Structure 1
């Protein structure tokens, strides 16, 4: 059950977002009776917030016109949600400008009650993440993220200054279909008019964004997340790999994400199509899956699997040794 203070703040939020609300309206929204609404209004007045009440058919509660509320008022639950969200954003690499997340946390902490701030500090100091921000992930500019977000929502074409992985600059006209955060990096995907096809771009490589007036339509059923993960899996690598997995499609999908490769059900099993720079790593992946498999191509993968199997067999033949405590 919400704390009474949370409901008082909830009433304040409602009065901020509505010109006027009747007693029954507020009672229904706050799940209290009208007498309690009157008590909440009195509490707000005691806190220095000018809540005006009027009787009669057109009466109700409203804030005094022109009154400026403090910029931030959070309940305990809301404060915890915001702070933990900021911590997660920093750890996972969701943030943009490096100091922004830490500064936002510091500002929120300053306005929290001391006991709550201390307990939140304890959570932050003892919280661990199984996923962490990639050390090699540059942050995108805040202005870039906001401009692309606005253009994606309003469906306006943008002109972006882009730098390829090799450092080559280019200017692109892009219809942004969606923003995607994947594996520690931000991406935008959409129709690239320079190439005449749907392409994916890293936000940290975008130097400028100019939003134009030309609008566009997103293809029906287009899935930005699915497209980005598939396109990243299809990045050019040294080896084209096809392996037939002896398992069910649902099991394969649970273990092999779209960013690793494409899965297709066949009469003989699940065909995994992917690309790899290092076939030893692919051999390790296949061994870790634990399913019987058949290498379709390349033949060099058979050699890599055989070599990895020999390596594991060698480890298995090592005689046991006494373990000396450190």
Structure 2
């Protein structure tokens, strides 16, 4: 057996141990990028190498391979690879950078617990290798302006979201009026501006966005509530191009990128629901549905005159007088 195949079997053992129901042929094929027959060969080699494996059928009559979790020596034998530890470190740093201190704290706790399960000499070596890997890869903070978050506020909202508990906030609206709001929180939208997605307890029952920089204070009430299982945060967020959403602006959007800009534009995902089409002249048309014309205009400005707004007309009017011809580079 080649070294690469042995490594694949160890990775398969990780999957079969970590997943409560075990791993299926389809999941093996997806993980290793192989066809169904190769996945079958892997399971046969897996069964030969690990005789304690359990093979069962799930509710859909698919076979699943599972390794018992009862032996903690498996983690010690496998250890933690330097790349895996570096990935945990980078995830924790990103969480701190993006204003999610609670997530950063939990990732660091997981890191320490995993290292504690390893022999001290191996743990020290892995930490040193991971530090070198981080230095070699670099940790690039996302450039550009962003609003500084109140970490105490984020901690309060994160705790309320986890329970979930309703929260009472002091909120200043766009017209500078401050009032107290009682909300049922559902999620956070992170971007240049950060928003709390919540449903006001008193109101029409619709979800609203509340800018974090306009929340003066927040208090957890201790009163729990039942989440609306039909609500999907990702779908709600996709109604906007950026963070801002407007029912009045929501609708079809179409942009045409010039043949010169098309190769660069293909590298972007402008919206989760986008559809792209290559034109005969080499240009690229991108279509999606969203709102937030001002945030779209801010982004389109970077493309100068290499992008044309086909729809909606209101957005076309906003950018009409600001299409530059002298930008030396594309985004």
Number of residue-to-residue matches in the alignment: 250
Of the candidates 169, 188, 192, which is equivalent to residue 161 of structure 1?
169
Q: CA deviation at 1:227?
A: 1.2
**Residue in 2 that maps onto 1:55:** none
Of the candidates 155, 171, 175, which is equivalent to residue 181 of structure 2?
171
Structure 1 residues 280 and 32, CA gap change in structure 2 (3 angstroms): closer
Question: Which runs of no fewer than 5 residues in structure 2 stay unpaired?
Answer: 1-5, 20-45, 53-68, 278-284
- Mapped partners of 2:178, 2:274: distance in 1: 30
- Mapped partners of 1:73, 1:167: distance in 2: 58
Structure 1 residues 113 and 283, CA gap change in structure 2 (3 angstroms): closer
Give yes or no for the alignment of 1:245 onto 2:258.
no
TM-score w.r.t. structure 2 length? Answer: 0.50
**Residue in 2 that maps onto 1:84:** 87
**Residue in 2 that maps onto 1:324:** none
**Residue in 1 that maps onto 2:142:** 132
- Mapped partners of 1:189, 1:215: distance in 2: 15
- Mapped partners of 1:150, 1:132: distance in 2: 31
Q: CA deviation at 1:136?
A: 3.0
Contact 1:243 1:294 in 2 (8 A): yes
**Residue in 2 that maps onto 1:95:** 100
Q: CA deviation at 1:120?
A: 0.8
The equivalences for 1:163-312 within 5 A come to 163-164=171-172, 168=178, 170-174=180-184, 176=185, 178-180=186-188, 182-183=190-191, 187-196=195-204, 197-201=206-210, 205=215, 207-219=218-230, 222-231=231-240, 232-235=242-245, 244-246=254-256, 255=268, 257-258=270-271, 270=287, 274-276=292-294, 282-285=300-303, 287-289=305-307, 293=310, 296-297=313-314, 299=317, 301-305=319-323, 308-309=324-325, 311-312=326-327
Q: What's the CA shift string for 1:180-209, capped at 9, x where partnerless?
A: 453377654342234422113456846222
Contact 1:137 1:184 in 2 (8 A): no
Moved more, 194-203 or 162-171: 162-171
Of the candidates 117, 140, 147, which is equivalent to residue 160 of structure 2?
147
Question: Which runs of no fewer than 5 residues in structure 1 stay unpaired?
Answer: 15-27, 35-60, 64-68, 152-156, 317-326
Contact 1:148 1:209 in 2 (8 A): no
SS at match of 2:239: helix
TM-score w.r.t. structure 1 length? Answer: 0.51
Q: Name which one, 1 or 2, has greater alpha-carbon Rg.
A: 1
- Mapped partners of 1:185, 1:203: distance in 2: 8
Indicate the RMSD between aligned Cα atoms, in angstroms.
5.8
- Mapped partners of 2:177, 2:82: distance in 1: 42
Q: CA deviation at 1:148?
A: 0.9
- Mapped partners of 1:263, 1:274: distance in 2: 18
Q: CA deviation at 1:105?
A: 8.8
